[in-house]
Amino acid sequence: MTYVVTGILAFLAYLYLAAGSGTLLGAWSGAELVAGAITGVAAGIAGGKLLFPAGNFRMLNPRRWILFLLYLFGPFFLGMARANLDVAWRVITGRIRPGIVMVGPGLESDLAVTLLANSITLTPGTLTVEADDKGALYVHWIYVQDETPSVEQVCGSFASWARRIAE
């Protein structure tokens, strides 16, 4: 069931994107419908278990999507802006102390860990190198302040937002 729901959502997203500019409902060609169906099946197979583990459809809740959008345009955007300025300052001054640190955000779902790891990676100055089976993340950090940093030192409020959105 999870594969079917994910596939349908991907198919609908494809049809929306293929509709053309300015219209929500366009006339799709047969080739576009076939390409959308193939894309939907591939997305269903690839992402079904990540988005909907064990038939849990909590990510279909509109509240979670609103929270995700608030996160993207709020804390994530501000975190990226701050990190860009910090990296620019470090490049100009040469004050870097790179290293790999481990943080354990305590997230339970794979989707929350994936959301946090991607948020860390997209933020300049940090790169998620690995995530272990227990949810701990290994992060390459441009300026290691502490050998055992807190979650807030490495990723700010991203972990609490990932928990709110995906768990």
As a whole number, mean pLDDT of residues 94-113 equals: 91
Of residues 23 and 57, the one with the higher pLDDT is 57
Q: How far apart are CA 128 and CA 39, in angstroms?
A: 28
Q: How far apart are CA 90 and CA 7, in angstroms?
A: 44
Is 66 exposed, middle or buried (CB count within 10 Å of its CB: 0-12, 13-18, 19+)?
exposed
How many other CB atoms are there within 10 angstroms of residue 147's CB atom?
A: 8
For residue 89, the Cα-to-chain-centroid distance in whole angstroms is: 26
Q: How large is the angle between the packed helices 110-122 and 158-166, nearest 10 degrees?
A: 140
* 137-141 sheet: strands from edge to edge: 99-103, 137-141, 126-131
Pair 83, 154: CB distance under 8 Å:
no
The dihedral through the CA atoms of 115, 121, 125, 131 has a sign that is positive
Q: How far apart are CA 66 and CA 115, in angstroms?
A: 15
With cut-offs at 50, 70 and 90, classify the pLDDT of residue 30. Answer: confident
Whether residue 117 is predicted with pLDDT greater than 90 in this model: the reply is yes
- What pLDDT is recorded for position 127? 94
**N- to C-terminal Cα distance for the chain?**
20
- Would the pTM count as exceeding 0.85? no
As a whole number, mean pLDDT of residues 145-153 equals: 88
CA atoms within 13 A on the CB side of 24: 0
